[in-house]
Amino acid sequence: MSLNAKQLEAAQFHTGIALVVAVPGSGKTKTMTERIGRLVNDHGVAPENILGLTYTRQAAEQMRERLELVLHGEASRVNLYTIHSFCLRLLKSEGRYFNIVSGSEQMTMVATIMRSLGIKDLAIGGVLQDISLAKSNLISPEEFIDLYGEDQSKQKTAMVFKEYEEQKAIRYLYDFDDLLLQAYRFLAHEGGAEKYHDVYPHILVDEYQDTNPAQLAVLQALIEDTGRGSFWACGDDWQSIYAFNGASIGNILRFKQIFPSAQEIVLNVNYRSTPAILAACQKLIDHNQRKIPKELIAHKPGGNHDLFVIDTFNEEEEACLVANEIKHLSVSDGTAYSDMAVLYRANFQSEILQNVFVRAGIPFYIDNGMSFYERREVRILLDYLRFIEDPDSVAGDEALQRIINAPNRYLGKKFMEQVAGVANEASCSLYQALRTMDFDSPYIRRNVHEFVRLMESFIQNEGEMGPAEVLAKLRQRLDYDRFVTDKDIPSPDNQAVLNLNQLLQSAARYASISEFLTYVATVEDETCSRDPSGVKLMTIHKAKGLEFPVVFVVGLVEGIMPTKRGDLEEERRICFVALSRAMDRLYVTYSHNYLGQPAKRSIFIDEMTGDLAVLDPIKQIPSP
């Protein structure tokens, strides 16, 4: 395996502590794999005594596959885990008895606690996120109370936090944050560290910039800085984009303060991108103040047409121009669709792209296979439209069963079975049966009557309102935004309210519910969103760690990228990650109007540009 001088220095590192700062496309995985191989082959380290920690399970699996080329049959003996799975294994091996609480079970647990405390004005997902962030920063419920003494909403969160921890302890439950905290306590305060110093004298960590304070605490407890073993951390502060998950960029920026004996090795030769693309990346990230200074060096030569800035009127024209350029590259240059990717800041931005790509006949692939119209908050409102359009049809029956408890009206499965029984006997629709039935329970009677009154107000006026107006009124009268965000843990690239806003924008293009639903059905019927050979559509966070010959970064307007509430330096790092996915051609696009409002192009475009070529929108744009 051929390595450059700095890669070789990092791979040959034997004992002590090292920080390997690896820029995008610098071969860090190859270097990390080679180092493990050298520990075993050159220094006689048993594979079982090596612990490699990665950010994701997929990264661990990819690392093991690469190790097969270096260690062959011995690769399976190397310990490769995510840090959470490592902590789980450690605690189980030490005889700890517990079950994991996560997902809907965890959400239900917090919701029950909030009801018992009479807390109704906070979103469950937001409370759970605050608790997780506190724990990832090693903050206890008592410390949380002291920290937010004057903030009433945070004080309520603290009450939930305290009760949540007590109930988990009673029921022998750990959440994912507990795996870190309990492993840290065992290692640092219960005598476990000395044992594991001998078990794992050599520790390697990938994507170190994405670690949080609790993970750092676990690592510090595992490390024995005696020169007998080694701690080898690899990461890039310029690619630290997970602050919303509790990641602390300070862990990598302060590495030499935390570990004074550490050696720093910088891998700054990029084997992925052309010089012009790297120049744009460098110009952008140079505006950040908190960073490890580095110079991006291109290994590959530059092309004649590497960089383009596309200026458009609105997001639909933007999507059309992107589609035209993709068609042109496919037909004229022979570029495979799978070699092209369109990256965006948030999921709601994919709707217009899917719309245009379907019309243009461009196959595309959405990571995780979920198109815009399959998202829960969007899908429920579409079912309301289907029901309102024709409540007594088969489609209306199907839609009714999906919306009757959205939001929750406490009309469960047995209730709908009763309704279905009456409908079968009377040979009528579920809705007709629902309207004629009498219910003994006062709350069921009240909830059914309220639902029918609401639906009738739409059904009777269906021909007089466009789909966007109906959706807007449904959002208001159902208090729908609160419903979809209550159990939604916020993330920067999937915000339910933004998806709903985009749904209204899409619906506004159609005069009737029928026309809009026909369009949606056309998009849903297309199999192109699951075609691995198609153009990749994904958020920037999903694209991290990937590379494509051709990359389009769309929607670079103020308020989207950077977002209004985001930390500017983190937002700039997110943009840097997007640009640095491109190998040969990079397109940066923005529009003068966005979501029906005047928009200003992102400050990041001015920061990254200079000598970039500008592609005028000269190709024919399909009519809307």
At 90-148, the pLDDT tens digits run: 999 999 999 999 888 888 899 899 999 998 888 888 888 899 999 999 999 989 888 88
- pLDDT attached to residue 620: 33
Mean pLDDT of 507-513: 85
Are residues 203 and 222 in contact, defined by beta-carbon separation less than 8 angstroms? yes
Mean pLDDT of 351-360: 88
What is the CATH code for 99-171? 1.10.10
- pLDDT attached to residue 263: 94
Helices 350-360 and 496-507: crossing angle in degrees, nearest 10, is 40
Q: Tens of pLDDT along 374-409?
A: 888 889 999 999 999 888 888 888 899 899 888 888
Q: Residue 256: pLDDT band by 50, 70, 90 thresholds? A: very high
Q: Where are the domains of the chain?
A: 5-93+181-270, 99-171, 297-363+531-619, 374-523
- Ligand-binding annotation for 28, yes or no, is yes
Mean pLDDT of 489-510: 75
Give dist(CA 575, CA 286) in Å, integer. Answer: 13
- Ligand-binding annotation for 22, yes or no, is yes
- Ligand-binding annotation for 25, yes or no, is yes
- Ligand-binding annotation for 256, yes or no, is no
- pLDDT attached to residue 123: 83
Question: What one-letter code names the amino acid at 544?
Answer: K
Q: Is 204 helix (H, G, I), strand (E, B) or coil?
A: strand
- Ligand-binding annotation for 26, yes or no, is yes
- pLDDT attached to residue 443: 83
Residue 99, judged by CB atoms within 10 A of its CB (0-12, 13-18, 19+), counts as exposed
- pLDDT attached to residue 163: 93
Q: Tens of pLDDT along 275-288?
A: 989 999 999 999 99
- pLDDT of residue 617 exceeding 60, the answer is no
Q: Tens of pLDDT along 411-433?
A: 878 888 888 888 888 888 888 88
Q: Residue 618: pLDDT band by 50, 70, 90 thresholds? A: very low
- pLDDT attached to residue 74: 86
The residue whose two tokens read 């949606």 is: 520
- Which residues lie closer than 8 Å to 25 by C-beta, 6 or more apart? 270, 271, 272, 273, 547, 580
Q: Residue 240: pLDDT band by 50, 70, 90 thresholds? A: very high
- Its sign, for the CA torsion 201, 209, 370, 341, is negative
- pLDDT attached to residue 615: 47
Helices (H), 487-539: 496-507, 513-525
Q: Residue 525: pLDDT band by 50, 70, 90 thresholds? A: low
Q: Residue 236: pLDDT band by 50, 70, 90 thresholds? A: very high
Residues in the chain, total = 624
CATH 3.40.1160.10, domain 297-363+531-619, yes or no: no
- pLDDT of residue 603 exceeding 70, the answer is yes
| 612 against 334, higher pLDDT | 334
- Superfamily name with CATH number, domain 374-523: PCRA; domain 4 (1.10.486.10)
Q: Tens of pLDDT along 144-203?
A: 888 887 788 888 999 999 999 999 999 999 999 999 999 999 998 888 888 888 899 999
Q: Tens of pLDDT along 264-276?
A: 999 999 999 999 8
The residue whose two tokens read 């590959």 is: 300
Tell me if 5-93+181-270 shares its fold with 297-363+531-619: yes
Q: Is 491 helix (H, G, I), strand (E, B) or coil?
A: coil
Mean pLDDT of 27-34: 92
Mean pLDDT of 293-309: 84
Mean pLDDT of 550-577: 92
- Ligand-binding annotation for 27, yes or no, is yes
Residue 23 Cα distances to 237, 271, 282, 545, angstroms: 9, 10, 11, 11
- pLDDT attached to residue 623: 32
- pLDDT attached to residue 350: 87
Residue 485 Cα distances to 347, 374, 411, 497, angstroms: 15, 17, 21, 8
Are residues 87 and 79 in contact, defined by beta-carbon separation less than 8 angstroms? no
- Percent residues over pLDDT 70 in the chain: 93
- Which residues lie closer than 8 Å to 270 by C-beta, 6 or more apart? 23, 24, 25, 26, 278, 296, 297, 298, 299, 580
State pTM to two decimals.
Answer: 0.85
Query: What's the mean per-residue pLDDT of the chain?
Result: 87
- pLDDT attached to residue 611: 53
Among candidate residues 555, 524, 542, 608, the one with its CA nearest the CA of residue 581? 542
- Superfamily name with CATH number, domain 5-93+181-270: P-loop containing nucleotide triphosphate hydrolases (3.40.50.300)
- pLDDT attached to residue 613: 47
Mean pLDDT of 460-480: 86
Q: What are the helix and strand counts (H, E) for the chain?
A: 28, 18
